Every structure is written in structure tokens, then in C-alpha cells.
Amino acid sequence: MAKGETFRAIYQLLLARFGPQHWWPADSPFEVLVGAILTQNTSWKNVRQALDNLRQHGLLDFAALESLPLEELAALIKPAGYHGVKARRLKNLLAMLRRAYDGDIAALARDTPTAAREQLLAVNGVGPETADAILLYAAGHAVFVVDAYTHRVFRRHFLVPEESEYEEIQSIFMAALPTDAALFNEYHALIVELGKRHCKKTRPLCAGCPLEHLQHNEMA
DNA sequence: CACCAGGCAAGTA
DNA sequence: TACTTGCATGGT
């Protein structure tokens, strides 16, 4: 079986098992930006508390966050952890969007995916995963998001090379799938759902997981 | 108590 | 270039 078929079959398997996930969990593209920074190495449960704090203060808004003092922002996002660095990272991201896109996320969506990605990666605090999450879930660009679960699940089942890192894994997915933002959106969401349920770091074998029968697959 | 969670950048050799 | 460490809160 060709690799592309395997990746497409896994998608169908996960979709049938878990159903549509309706990601990203946010009410607006701006909330996606904020969530993408806040969720760095952090559980979504903690992120939600921080987002709720901002929402209750009417601060889930570009201009409002822009004018909010750094220290006050840090205090409000405290439940998400790393609040010192994350407050700075959010400010850095907003500053770039203001400068390069006039503070308009729709302008980011109108830019080419490649150019927009470069702009995002130039921000201190935005790495490949955060950039791609923003491109896909806030701007609707067709880029595949590779997160910790993607690494863990697909390595554990020998579906990507052991030593492969972000860009290589992303290329494998994008070569195997049609370029379709809705598909990339749903696939990543399903991988996270699978990871949460069956592929925890501390669980070496994915007992009962939908990919169990693939455990002995091989791939260069 | 130890360990983990939807990363990233800076420091070290 | 290839590792290591700091950042920090809340849940299991």
C-alpha cells in the first residue's frame, strides 16, 4: 500500500471513530491567535481559564490587548503558565500583525501562505507549530499542523521516520494528502483527540487505540 | 511525591 | 551544529 493511501485511510478511520471535531475551539480568529500562544507546552484546560479571564474583561480583541500593559496581560493569563514569556510573545505577535498587516487578520489570510509563514516565524515566540496553527485555524491557509501528538502517534506506529522533525513530518502529510484546509483542519484535530485518549506519553502501548493493527508497519 | 501538558528561545561546548 | 535549560500553572 502506498504511503499516501495509509495516511488517507487513517484519516477515514479516525473520522469514523471520533466524528468531526469542529476545531479550533475558539469564537473568533483573534481568539485563535491568543490560544495558539497560550497553549504552547500547556494543556488546553489551563488555556481556557486564561482565555475566560481575558473574555470577562472584554480583552479578546486586537486593539484592547494591544493597549493593555504587559504586566496586566501577564496577570490575566497566569492560569496558562509561563505567563511572563507568553505575555511578551503575544505582544510581539500583535506588533508584527499591526506593522505588516495593519492589525487585520483578514490581510494575513489574503497574503500567500509562504510569505505569511515567514512573517509569523520572524516573531520572537512564534515557532513552526504556532505559526502553522495560526495560518490554518485563523487565516484558513492549507498548511498541516504538526504537534506533539502527531510526532508521538505517528512515530510510535512507525508511520514517519524515527528521527524526523517538524518540517519533514509536515512534508510527509502534505505529500500524502490533497491540499485542502478543511481536511488539514479536521485531521489535526482528530490526531489530538486520538492522542488525548490513547497515546499519552506515559502509555507505551496504545491498547485499544484505532491504530493498534498498524503497530508493525514499517517505513524508511 | 513525581510527572505531564496541543513550544520556543537562549545558553553552552 | 547538537544538546541542555528556563519558563510556571493546574491536573493526575
Please work out, in degrees rounded to the nearest 5, the angle formed at the alpha carbon of residue A116 by the alpha carbons of A34 and A175. 100
A46: which nucleotide lies closest, measuring CA to C1'?
C10
Cell numbers of A106, please? Answer: 483578514
Instruction: Give the CA-to-C1' distance from A135 to C7 in angstroms.
Output: 25
Instruction: Give the CA-to-C1' distance from A42 to B1 in angstroms.
Output: 21
DSSP annotation string for A69-105: -HHHHHHHTGGGS-HHHHHHHHHHHHHHHHHHHTT-H
Is A219 strand, coil or helix?
coil
Contacts with A87 (C-beta within 8 Å, 6 or more apart), sequence order: A70, A71, A73, A74, A77
From CA A145, how far away is CA A135, in angstroms rounded? 9
Footprint of strand B on the protein (CB under 7 A): A 23-25, 35-36, 39-44, 46, 81-82, 85, 123-131, 133, 137, 147-149, 166, 192, 195-196, 200-202
From CA A215, how far away is CA A111, in angstroms rounded? 41
Cell 502509555 locates to: A203
* pTM higher than the cut 0.85: yes
A127: which nucleotide lies closest, measuring CA to C1'?
B8
Footprint of strand C on the protein (CB under 7 A): A 41-43, 45-46, 49, 78-86
Closest CA to the C1' of C9: that residue is A81
A124: which nucleotide lies closest, measuring CA to C1'?
B9
Instruction: Give the CA-to-C1' distance from A100 to B12 in angstroms.
Output: 35
Cell numbers of A63, please? Answer: 486593539
Nucleotides of B under 7 A from a protein CB: 3-10
User: For each of chain A's 220 residues, which pLDDT tens digit applies?
Assistant: 677 899 999 999 999 999 999 999 999 999 999 999 999 999 999 999 999 999 999 999 999 999 999 999 999 999 999 999 999 999 999 999 999 999 999 999 999 999 999 999 999 999 999 999 999 999 999 999 999 999 999 998 899 999 999 999 999 999 999 999 999 999 999 999 999 988 877 666 666 788 877 754 544 3
Give yes or no on whether A3-22+145-218 and A29-138 have one common fold. no
Predicted pLDDT at A216: 47
Predicted pLDDT at A194: 94
Question: What's the start-to-end Cα distance of chain A, in Å?
Answer: 14
Domain boundaries, chain A: 3-22+145-218, 29-138
The architecture in CATH of the region A3-22+145-218 reads Orthogonal Bundle (1.10)
A85: which nucleotide lies closest, measuring CA to C1'?
C7
DSSP annotation string for A138-191: IT--------HHHHHHHHHTTSS-TT--HHHHHHHHHHHS-S-HHHHHHHHHHH
Contacts with A115 (C-beta within 8 Å, 6 or more apart), sequence order: none
The correct answer on CATH 1.10.340.30 for the domain covering A29-138 is: yes
Type of residue numbered A172 = I
Predicted pLDDT at A1: 60
Predicted pLDDT at A204: 62
